[in-house]
Amino acid sequence: MQDDEGLIVIIFGLVFALLTIALPIALVVWAVRHFGSRSGGQRNDARSVRRFFQYLLLFGLLIVAAVGLSELLALPFQKATFAGDSSSEVARALTFTVFGIPMFLLLAASSRRQLQRDPDEAASVGWAVYLTVTPVTALVVAMFALHDIVAPALSGEAFDWPAVIRFVVWAAVWLLHWTVAHRMLDAGRRQGQLVIGSLIGLATSVTGLVWLLGASVTALVVSDAGTLLVGQQRPVAQAAATAVVGVPVWVVYWLRTWSTADRTPLWFGYVLPVGVGASLVLAVVGASAAVYQVLVWLLGAPSSTQAAQHFDGTPNAVACVVVGALSWWYHRQVLAGAAPGRTEVTRVYEYLMAGIALLAAAVGVTLVIVALVESLIPVAGIELGASVVNSLLSGVTLLLVGGPLWWVFWSRINRVVHADDPEELGSPTRRTYLFVLFGLGGVAAVVAVLVAAFVAIQGALQGNLDVQVVRDLRIPVAILLAAGAISGYHWSVYRDDRSRLPAPQARLGARYVLLVGAPEPALVGAVEHRTGARVDLWVRADGLAGPWMVDDVVAAVQASPTPALTIIASPAGLETVGMLRP
C-alpha cells in the first residue's frame, strides 16, 4: 500500500513538473505569435521562438560551465574534511566542466555563425537581452567573490583561495560579454546593462561607505582595546570590503561609460529619482535619526542612561547624512551640466526635492498631532518606550529636517512663478506635482475617514463610546488633518495658476508627425516642444535625405490641414503628405 502511495506521489510530481515546464513555454510561444503576428508573420514567429530558447539555453550552459570550472579548480584548495557525500561535489564539478563547457562552446559557435550571416540576428531582442542579463549575472557573482576575498584579508583571517578562483572565472565571463556587448550593441541597446550596473555599483558603494564610516567612528570611540581588536575589526573589514567591491563597479559602469553617454530619458530616470532623489532621502533619514537621538537624550526619555548605549546608532545615522549629501551634491552637479538653465529637467529636480521634503514634514505634523492627543488623553499602563515626549520629539525632528528643506526648494520655485512666467505656470511638471499631491492627500483623507468611522461605529455598537475611542481616533484624525492641509493648500495653488495663465489658444496643425530623413535626435524634441504634436523620426535607407531645418518643419506642421502629417526631407527640400485614419 505504501509503495502504491509512493508511486502516486511520484506520478503527480512528474505531472506537476511537466506542467511547470510546459506552461511557461506555451505562454512564451503564444506571446511571440500574438505580438509577432502584427509585424512579421509566421517566419518571424518561428525565429523569435527559436531565439528565445537558443539564448536561454546559451545562458544556462554558460552558468553550468562557469560553476563547474570554478568548483573544479577550487577542489585542491578545499579543506580536507571530505566525508560521506563529498563525491557528489566532485562529480558535479566534473560533469559541469566536462560536459558543460563543450556544449556551451558548440552553441556559442553556432550562434556566432548566425550573427555573422544574418544582420537581423544581431539586431534581435533576444541577443540584446542575453548581452544584458549575462554580464550583469557574472558581475554580481564576481562581486560576492571579491567581497569574500577582501573581507578575510582585511580582518587577518585565512585567505579564501576558492573565492579567488570564483572571482577570476566570473570576472572573465563578465569581461568577455562586456566587450562583445560594446562591439555588437548600439548605445541605445546597451542602456539596460548600464543602468543595472550603475544601480548595483551606486547602491553597493553607498552601503559600503555608510557602513565603513559608521563602523570606523564606533571603533574609534570604543575604550576597551580588546573590544576594538575583536568586536569591531570584523564590521570594519566587512564594510571596507563592501566599499572596495562597489566603487570599481560604479566607476566602470557610470563614471567612465554612462555618465558621458547621450542624455536619454532613461539616463535622466537614473540621475533624477535615484542619484538625486534617493540620495536626498538617505540624508533626510540619517539627519532625522541623529537629531531625534539628540533630542531624546536632552529632552525626552532615553532607553538607556549610558550615552554609549543610547547613541549606539548615531554614527551610522551621521554616516547616512554625509554619504547621502555627497551623493546628492555629485548627481546635482551632473544634472546641472546636462541641463543648463531652467529646463523641464530642472523643474523635475526641484519639484522632486520639494516633494520629498514635504513628505517628511507631513509625517512630522501627523506625529505631533498624535502625541498631543496622547498627552491630552493619557492611558494607564503605557508600554515601555512609548513615551509621549519621545513621540512628540520624533514629529518635531521630522519638522525640523523636512520643513526648512521644503521651504528652500518651494521658495525657489515660487520666485519663478511670481515672475509671471507662463512657461513655468503651464509646465507639465508643475501640474503633475500639484495633482499628485492633491490626489495622494485626497486618498489619504478618504482612508482616514473610513478608518475613523469604523472605530467610532464599532465603539458605539459595543456601547464603549468613551474617551478611549477618542484616543483610538488620534492616528486617522492626524492623517486627515495633515492630508487635508496639504490637499487644500496645493488646490489653492493650482487655482491661482489657472487664473494667471493666459487664455488657451486653439492648436493649429497636425497632432501626429512622422519625419523621414536624416537622423537628428534633437529635432524630435524641438518640434514636439514648439508644436505640441507627437513626433516620430524614421531614417531614409537610400541615403538621399536633405538637411533638416527646425523652423521649416514647425511651419509645415502648423500649416497642415490634416491631423497627421508625414514630412520627407529630400535633396530638393521638404515634402509633406497629409494623412487620415481609415
pLDDT in tens, 54-99: 899 999 999 999 999 999 998 888 765 444 456 788 888 899 999 9
Structural element, H or E, at residue 574: strand 573-579
- Residue 269 belongs to a domain: no
> Percent of the chain having pLDDT more than 70?
85
Residue 17 predicted with pLDDT over 60: no
Q: How far apart are CA 244 and CA 238, in angstroms?
A: 10
Give residue 547's pLDDT: 84
In the structure, what pLDDT confidence band is assigned to residue 27 with cuts at 50, 70 and 90?
low
Of 235, 205, 415, nearest to 324 by C-alpha is 205
Mean pLDDT, the chain, whole residue set: 83
Helices (H), 221-343: 225-230, 233-250, 265-270, 279-299, 307-310, 314-338
Q: Are residues 8 and 49 in the same domain?
A: no
Give residue 231's pLDDT: 46
Q: How far apart are CA 376 and CA 363, in angstroms?
A: 20
Inter-CA distances, 183 with 104, 116, 264, Å:
21, 13, 20
Q: Are residues 159 and 195 in the same domain?
A: yes
Q: Are residues 35 and 53 in the same domain?
A: no
In the structure, what pLDDT confidence band is assigned to residue 43 with cuts at 50, 70 and 90?
low
Q: How far apart are CA 255 and CA 205, in angstroms?
A: 13
Residue 31 predicted with pLDDT over 80: no
- Rounded average pLDDT over 473-477: 89
Give residue 38's pLDDT: 45
Q: Containing domain of residue 531, as a range?
A: 512-579
Read off the amino acid at residue 322: V
Q: Are residues 29 and 45 in the same domain?
A: no
> Does residue 509 or residue 502 have the better pLDDT?
509
Supply 493's cell numbers: 495653488
Give residue 83's pLDDT: 44
- Residue 321 belongs to a domain: no
Cβ atoms within 10 A of the Cβ of 437, count?
Answer: 24
Give residue 529's pLDDT: 78
pLDDT in tens, 424-470: 777 888 889 998 998 888 889 899 999 999 988 988 888 777 777 88
Residue 148 predicted with pLDDT over 80: yes
Interstrand relation of 512-517 and 534-539 (parallel, antiparallel or unpaired): parallel
In the structure, what pLDDT confidence band is assigned to residue 401 with cuts at 50, 70 and 90?
very high
In the structure, what pLDDT confidence band is assigned to residue 497 with cuts at 50, 70 and 90?
confident
Residue 204 predicted with pLDDT over 90: yes
Any bridge partners for residue 535, and if so which? 513
pLDDT in tens, 543-581: 788 888 888 888 888 888 888 999 998 888 888 888 887
Inter-CA distances, 72 with 79, 104, 169, Å:
14, 17, 11
Give residue 229's pLDDT: 40
In the structure, what pLDDT confidence band is assigned to residue 23 with cuts at 50, 70 and 90?
low
- Rounded average pLDDT over 116-145: 92
Structural element, H or E, at residue 429: helix 428-461
Distance between alpha carbon 531 and the CA centroid of its chain, in Å?
A: 33
Q: DSSP assignment of 152-213, as one string?
A: HHHHT----HHHHHHHHHHHHHHHHHHHHHHHHS-HHHHHHHHHHHHHHHHHHHHHHHHHHH
Q: Are residues 436 and 552 in the same domain?
A: no
Q: Are residues 165 and 187 in the same domain?
A: yes
Q: Are residues 160 and 234 in the same domain?
A: yes
User: What percent of the chain is helix, strand and coil (3-state, nearest 5)?
Assistant: 75, 5, 20
> Does residue 400 or residue 373 have the better pLDDT?
400
In the structure, what pLDDT confidence band is assigned to residue 223 with cuts at 50, 70 and 90?
very low
Give residue 571's pLDDT: 84
Give residue 132's pLDDT: 94
Of 431, 410, 435, 438, nearest to 501 by C-alpha is 431
Give residue 343's pLDDT: 78
Give residue 45's pLDDT: 56
In the structure, what pLDDT confidence band is assigned to residue 39 with cuts at 50, 70 and 90?
very low
pLDDT in tens, 316-365: 999 999 999 999 999 999 988 887 777 788 888 899 999 999 999 999 99
pLDDT in tens, 459-471: 888 877 777 788 8
Q: How far apart are CA 475 and CA 217, in angstroms?
A: 38
- Residue 437 belongs to a domain: yes
Residue 30 predicted with pLDDT over 60: no
- Residue 112 belongs to a domain: yes
Q: Are residues 110 and 32 in the same domain?
A: no
Q: Are residues 130 and 92 in the same domain?
A: yes
Burial-class residue 153 by CB neighbours within 10 Å (0-12, 13-18, 19+): middle
Read off the amino acid at residue 363: V
Give residue 261's pLDDT: 86
- Residue 295 belongs to a domain: no
In the structure, what pLDDT confidence band is assigned to residue 1 with cuts at 50, 70 and 90?
very low
Give residue 544's pLDDT: 80
Q: How far apart are CA 141 and CA 249, in angstroms?
A: 13
Give residue 35's pLDDT: 47
> Which residue, 504, 531, 564, sits at the end of a domain?
504
- Residue 398 belongs to a domain: no
> Which residue, 215, 247, 262, sits at the end of a domain?
262
Residue 174 contacts residue 205 (beta carbons within 8 Å): no
Q: Are residues 439 and 567 in the same domain?
A: no
Give residue 125's pLDDT: 87
In the structure, what pLDDT confidence band is assigned to residue 366 with cuts at 50, 70 and 90?
very high
Give residue 379's pLDDT: 63
Read off the amino acid at residue 99: F
Q: Are residues 202 and 155 in the same domain?
A: yes
- Residue 500 belongs to a domain: yes
How many domains are contained in the chain?
Answer: 4
Give residue 408's pLDDT: 93
pLDDT in tens, 154-189: 887 878 889 999 999 999 999 999 999 999 998 888
Q: How far apart are CA 311 and CA 324, in angstroms?
A: 20
Q: Are residues 138 and 11 in the same domain?
A: no
Strands, sheet with 573-579, edge to edge from the N-terminal-most edge strand: 534-539, 512-517, 564-570, 573-579
> Which residue, 471, 504, 537, sits at the end of a domain?
504
Q: What is the pTM of this model?
A: 0.76
Residue 209 predicted with pLDDT over 70: yes
- Residue 272 belongs to a domain: no
Residue 224 predicted with pLDDT over 80: no
> Does residue 229 or residue 342 have the better pLDDT?
342
User: What are the φ and ψ backbone dihedral angles of 564, each rounded to 5 degrees?
Assistant: -130, 145
